[in-house]
Amino acid sequence: MSRRKLVVGNWKMNGLRAQLGEVEAIGGLARDYPAVEVGLCLPATLISPADGVKGAAFIGAQDCHMKESGAHTGCLSAAMLAEAGASWTIVGHSERRQDQGETDADVAAKALAARAAGLKVILCVGESLDVRDAGNAEAVVAAQLLASLPDGAAADWLAIAYEPIWAIGTGRIPTMEAVAAMHAALRAALASRIGVEAEGMRILYGGSMNGDNAAELLALADVDGGLIGGASLAAAKFAPVIAAAA
């Protein structure tokens, strides 16, 4: 099945207004490659100003709270993010699972909250190096996906991002065979829960994809795009990834 490639930059805790020129340039790249859906998940402080210069790219958030409102100091609801200009959000990134102790149930609840506010969702799953070395990475990550999957999961509003945690920002990546096997396992896990809808769900690779390896990764059967970290901070580095997806 043909699935439109989805390439999303995750700026993490990077970016000030001085970098809005990069957002504008990436929006121009998105216009140059209409076959690829391109987006940037930015710090919350940049969502509103970036919305005015985004060009053909979409602007997303990096997280949302599972509640609509309340006494949750420092948190942002999905509705707040949508009002600021976000149309997507990431949930369940490994850095939040590890640093903020988020559970699979938390991730599923955040995805549902985002959906209720009209946001599309990138739901992240992945394994540690210990799990990889133990030889059961596919089973562990598939189980994590099923435990994190929200009710009503559908390809028109949800994408999955596989992040081998040990590869994020390290420059190390699994073998192409291991990436292909994991993406196939995730597709099978989705099919066990949502049936034929799984064929339309995009599964992104999120472990140190860059201009040097993007073409090979994106050529794999079940790799439908990328969740890009450091290589998305500058248009010049992001451009070859988008071109590879096209």
Please enumerate, by residue number, every residue annotated as part of a binding site: 10-12, 169, 208, 229-230
- SS3 assignment for 110-166: HHHHHHHCCCEEEEEECCCHHHHHHCCHHHHHHHHHHHHCCCCCCCCCEEEEECCHH
Residue 219 burial (C-beta neighbours within 10 Å; 0-12, 13-18, 19+): exposed
- Amino acid letter at 223? V
Q: Which residues are annotated as a binding site for substrate?
A: 10-12, 169, 208, 229-230
Tell me the three state secondary structure of residue 41.
strand
By annotation, the residues acting in catalysis are 93, 163
CA torsion sign, 235 to 237 to 243 to 245?
negative
Element (H, E) at 243: helix 235-245
